[in-house]
Structure 1
Amino acid sequence: MMRKAIITFGVGYGFEHIKHFVLSCKKFIPDTDIYMFAGKNIPQLEADCSHIQGVHFIPFKENFTGKVIAKVLSKMPSLQQKYAQYLSAKWERDPLRRTRIEALTSPLTQFMVKRFFLIKQLLSQLPHEQVMIADVRDIIFQYDPFATLQSDAIVTGIEPVANSESEMNEKWIRRTYSDAIFEQMADKNVACAGVTYGSRRAINQYIEEMLEETYENLPKIIDMLGADQAIHIRLFYYRLRGLTRHLEANGSGSIATLHFSDLTEFSVSNGRIENLTGQPLAVVHQYDRHPDLAVELRKGLEARQPVNQMAS
């Protein structure tokens, strides 16, 4: 049996924010290890999860020197830009020192980008053959998404709008790349960076290409919200060569991505959301954008006693 890992970030969250993610994962994917980066409340989270097997909390920490440099340079934009250009060039020219360069780079970036530096470090220490990178607060599981995963596959969800129809995604792509690059992707559906999973090889390649794009565009994306999303979209439409890329639309795959959905692609009953053919979705993302749905899914989960994890 292939070992499965889900890597996520719960910094600033209490148990109430991660509860439904964790319980649904351990019910429907019981043999999966959850690795969650968290903040100073790890002792409390560990106590809250003491009756649940396979949940590992990791302190969220960044390189001290890098943090100090980033803080000082934040008050000197021109030097900050030159420093970013230096790190970008150094990372490209000196592969043997990339670990050190990445530690210095991470504090320059917004949280959703910096997580990829930490994921790279963590994944190098894990033995798992199948890996998911996921948000935590707004995800609930309904069955095992890894069950039918191909060895060369990488999977993400797409939203029912084009990049040109999403003001925030358009802004992020234009700022991270250029107006010309945005025009190439304008008619593509938004690919959501909140859920990505695949074989270990596929996820390693995804992370490496995410960092390549980060360094190529680093001076433009210092502390910028949404750069990870722009890069994710570009990777799934134009990169990740050699992998089978699955961009799953609502109702047609294992992922439901609900921010822009009016829910007409689904039916909801008995605490579950299904596509119109009656197939439940493995990963339900952004369900909290629909308060009534959130109540029903959470009640449905809590009504079903998880197996093999909960203390009697």
Structure 2
Amino acid sequence: MKNLKSSIILGAATGYSPDKVEIFLESLSCSRYTGKVVLFINYNQYKDYCEYYSKKDYEFELEFSLSKIGILSSTKKISKNLKKIIKILSGIIVSLEPRLKKDFIYFLGLPHVSRFFDYYEYLLLKSNDQDIMLTDTRDVVVQKNPFESNLDGLYLGMEDSRILIGHDDFHIKWISDVYGKKYLQSIGAKKICCAGVTLGDHTSVMSYLEEMITEFMSLPYYKMVRSNYDQGIHNKLLYSGNFKNINCCDPLKSIISTVGLVPRNEIILNENNQVLDVDGSVSTIIHQYDRHRDIEKIFIEKYLN
């Protein structure tokens, strides 16, 4: 039997109170995951997170990594108009000093975008013989250890194929704002790929992060700090062939099940309140379960009580 590589899970929790990620962590514990979990949080969250999880006895190693993303977008002491002015002024500075672009995107952009810088910088210092999961933390449940076998390539979570890019208002806005309506039309008939959960071996994940960050840096600065365009960019790079050795994971048929757009009557739970794949086996990763309120209630009862 081939030896399993070490594994690490990275998730952004900036702006979330500790209880908002508890279901995610409890589900990992129930799945018997024994690797490492790193949550990126802001400095003002650190004490609360340490206190909240100090009495937990997880088999996995839990680390809190301090991040400075989302400071501007999350603070309530600055009005929306002032935040807009700050971003406009920062754009002028970047036009005069382009070398500051990356730092300003990191500090002033939304966490959806800035988290990619945190992930990349963290992994640069780690072993290249690892399997990695990049994940949302508020709406993800892990029912089976996602690293039961070594990963090969990049695993991307696809959404239900009955709703395509050109049929979804969010993707219409994200992609047309960044790349224009003509490009949107060229991929409008493609399936939506969700940027919330991504897995792979170290080489594949680092290549993915490099592609995302390179694209961030190539786009106009103000667009990168204006909105959460990460998923629009993620889909553009996928359908432009920038991601290599990919495994597209359809919901309830693969390691990643992004179920937000899946009709509720097609999501089957067993007697242990586990979501099942279409073949009757227990699904591994469930994302966007909170789009179905009864499933959210079931998971709250299952993991928190």
Q: What's the TM-score bracket when you normalise by the shorter of the two chains?
A: 0.7 to 0.9
Q: Distance in 2 between matches of 1:229 and 1:81?
A: 22
| Counterpart residue number, 1:309 | none
Distance 1:21 1:76 in 2: 35
Partner in structure 1 of residue 293 of structure 2: 291
What is the Cα deviation at residue 62 of structure 1?
5.7
Matches within 5 A, 1:181-200: 181-200=183-202
CA contact under 8 A between 1:154 and 1:246: conserved in structure 2?
yes
Query: In structure 1, what is the Cα distance between the partners aligned to 2:97 and 2:245?
Result: 32
Gaps of 5+ in 2: 72-80
Partner of 2:66: 59
Cα 1:162–1:62 change in 2 (3 A) is: closer
Report the counterpart of residue 146 of structure 1 in structure 2. 147
8 A contact 1:141–1:283 mirrored in 2: yes
Which residue identity is paired with 2:113? V
Residue 75 (structure 1) aligns with: 85
Give the corresponding residue for 2:267. 266
Give the equivalent residue in structure 2 for 1:175.
177
Give CA deviations for 1:121-157 in whole Å, capped at 9, x if unaligned: 1111222611111100100001122234543x11121
Tell me: CA distance 1:144–1:48, structure 2 relative to 1, closer, same or farther (3 Å): same
**Alignment partner, residue 45 of structure 2:** 41
Find the aligned partners of 2:41 and 2:287 in 1 and give their Cα distance. Answer: 20
CA–CA distance in structure 1, aligned partners of residues 144 and 87 of structure 2: 48
Between the two proteins, the alignment pairs up a number of residues equal to 285
Q: Which amino acid aligns with 1:112?
A: H
CA distance in 1, matches of 2:48, 2:61: 16
Structure 1: where are the runs of 5+ without partners? 65-70, 91-99, 304-312
Letter in 2 for 1:60: S
CA contact (8 A) 1:63 1:103 kept: no
1:25 aligns with 2:28: yes
Alpha-carbon distance between aligned partners in 1 of 2:97 and 2:201, rounded to the nearest angstrom: 30
Name the CA distance, whole Å, in 2 between partners of 1:221 and 1:43. Answer: 34
Deviation at 1:59, TM superposition (A): 1.7
The answer as to 2:276 corresponding to 1:278 is no
2:229 to 204, 227, 230: 227
- C-alpha spacing 1:86/1:72, structure 2 compared with 1 (3 Å): farther
**Structure 1 range deviating more: 132-141 or 254-263:** 254-263
Matching residue's letter, 1:54? E
Who is 2:76 aligned against? none
Alpha-carbon distance in structure 1 between the residues aligned to 2:132 and 2:86: 39
In the alignment, the residues of structure 2 paired with residue 87 and residue 165 of structure 1 have an alpha-carbon distance, to the nearest angstrom, of 40
The equivalences for 1:81-120 within 5 A come to 81-85=91-95, 90=99, 102-120=102-120
- In the alignment, is the contact (CA less than 8 A) between 1:130 and 1:146 conserved in 2? yes
- Deviation for aligned residue 1:288: 1.0
Aligned counterparts of 1:283 and 1:236: Cα–Cα separation in 2: 21
TM-score for the superposition, normalised by structure 2? 0.84
Q: Secondary structure at the match of 1:260?
A: coil
Secondary structure of 1:30's counterpart equals coil
Distance 2:88 2:13 in 1: 33
SS of residue in 2 equivalent to 1:273: coil
The equivalent of 2:155 in structure 1 is 155
Partner of 1:135: 136
Indicate the residue corresponding to 2:253 in structure 1: 252
Question: Whole-Å Cα distance in 1 between the matches of residues 131 and 86 of structure 2?
Answer: 43
Q: CA deviation at 1:38?
A: 1.4
Q: Distance in 2 between matches of 1:19 and 1:33?
A: 16
CA distance in structure 2 between the aligned counterparts of 1:87 and 1:168, rounded to whole angstroms: 33
Q: Secondary structure at the match of 1:235?
A: helix
What do you get for the CA RMSD once the two structures are aligned? Answer: 2.6
